[in-house]
Amino acid sequence: MVPVPIPRPRAFAAVGLVLAVASALLVVVGPADAARRPAPTRLRVTAHQGSLTVRWHAVRHAPGYRVRWSLRRSMAGSHRLAAPVHRARISNLAPDTRYYVQVAVAARKGRGRVLGHWSRVVGRRTPPPPCPTQGNLGDPTPAVPTGKAADLRVATFNIRTINLDSAAHPEQKWSSRADRVTSLLLGAPTTRNPATVAPDVIALQEANQSYGEFAARCTNQMIDLRNRLDADGAHHYEATSLDPGASVGTRILFDTARLRLESSGSVLLAPASTTHPHLAWAIFQMRNGGQRFFFGSVHLVPNEAADSNAVRDAEWDQLLAYLPGLSQGLPVVLGGDFNSVRSGVGANNSALTHLPKMATAGVADTLLGEHDPAPADFKVADTRPTTPPLNANCMSHNAFIAAQRCVDPTLVGQQIDYLFGTNSLVVKNWEQVLDIDDAGNWIGTIPSDHNLIRATITLPGVTG
């Protein structure tokens, strides 16, 4: 019997055709399509010095990730790295440079081919290099003691913080006063002061440390003053510290050709909630004689509250407590704005009680010495310097008022800015720098709301 073929139903044939086509398509596109992953989301890039930290949301079942970065948003010329998890760090980057970053899922823990679309592009700029905290301090080689005495020229100057600049008083802005401050510090002559050599070391107060006021990067009020002092090339002044966080605006500048910095630091004289009460200190060595000495700059709290005098008393006591340990038995020279007049006014009597304490501690005022507190009729002729002091009859705080507050030229006036020196040291001269007319009014730009005080002190010779 011959078998007769039975025709297959047409429905079964159609199904077979569909399955065959689907199978063929699966062979062609199935594996690649199944391997594709969505682009990572929530890309976050954080900039650091020389690097970027990149984070994103993990993609489910992602075998790894590829990170790429470029200087162009188009990602042209990009560099790449593999990331097995949903974060990475890109290192060895240039400072102050904008980079663009993307991420995609990639096979083999990020080392294989990219398996999906790239994420959105995120741009970040790396920070500029940090500002220096130490400048050029000059030759570090210790000086050889000569056994000969040497004169030390010192100054103290509250230069008025740039924070108090006001459009209402353009003449009081730092930009209007800076040249005058500089010229007076460098020893320019005035109507009341002959030309002189610049100081070896300067105690500064209110030398603001904010970088925000200047176009030049890493420049603040103190650095601007330093640059101006050095502009003619005849001097090289440097700060004992360029760190904005050290001693706020209470600073020390010194001539590196005359002095070698041995060590330095600062201590807070009161709770950190205030900005004034710092002692910035340094130990220097004279390059031309080998003498070592301690120098400090101080700014005590002004009369801003009902308890200011009590706070200032505590600050001054703290200063006296620090001096013996910090000075290491060396000669001491100290300058600053102590915000208290010699004779005391009303409740402001810190100087009245603490000037004698300073003398008892062995560090007396360079003007009056152990005569403090001096009576109102104390004669200029009886002061500590070996030559008659200049302008000792005038107040050192002028409050930007042209008319200087002065008493009889034969008498000692009221200062709140002081220079102190070890009792045994010879004070050759003392002067308050004034550029005033015959009526006692400032001529031209008033450099600050305080007047510059300077002195020359002789350090005895040392051997060995």
pLDDT value at residue 303: 85
Torsion sign, CA atoms 41, 46, 50, 51: negative
Quick one: pLDDT at residue 147? 95
The two structure tokens encoding residue 83 = 């990331």
Q: What's the N-to-C CA distance of the chain in angstroms?
A: 135
Find out whether 324 and 318 touch, Cβ atoms under 8 Å. no
Q: Name the class of domain 150-459.
A: alpha beta
How far apart CA 367 and CA 382 sit, in angstroms, is 10
Instruction: Supply the pLDDT for residue 138.
Output: 94
Digit-by-digit pLDDT tens for the chain (464 residues) are 444 454 444 443 343 433 343 344 333 333 444 458 899 999 999 999 999 999 999 999 999 999 999 999 999 999 999 999 999 999 999 999 999 999 999 999 999 999 999 999 999 999 999 999 999 999 999 999 999 999 999 999 999 999 999 999 999 999 999 999 999 999 999 999 999 999 999 999 999 999 988 999 999 999 999 999 999 899 999 999 999 989 999 999 999 999 999 999 999 998 665 666 899 999 999 999 999 999 999 999 998 888 888 889 999 999 999 999 999 999 999 999 999 998 877 668 899 999 999 999 999 999 999 887 777 788 999 999 999 999 999 999 999 999 999 999 999 999 999 999 999 999 999 999 999 999 999 999 999 999 999 999 999 999 97
Q: Which of 305, 347, 323, 314 is nearest to 420 (CA)?
A: 323
Using alpha carbons, select from 362, 364, 342, 363 the residue that is nearest to residue 351: 342
| Residue 275: per-residue pLDDT | 61
Give 215-267 as a DSSP string: SSTT--HHHHHHHHHHTTSS--EEES---TTSSTT-EEEEETTTEEEEEEEEE
Residue range 133-182, pLDDT digits in tens: 999 999 999 999 999 999 999 999 999 999 999 999 999 999 999 999 99
Query: For the chain, how are helix, strand and coil distributed in percent, rounded to 5?
Result: 20, 30, 50
What is the domain partition of the chain in residue ranges? 44-125, 150-459
Q: Say yes or no: do domains 44-125 and 150-459 share a fold.
A: no
The single-letter DSSP state of residue 397 is B
CATH 2.60.40.10 describes domain 44-125: yes
pTM of the model: 0.84
Rounded to a whole number of angstroms, the CA Rg of the chain reads 36
Residue with the two structure tokens 């301090």: 137
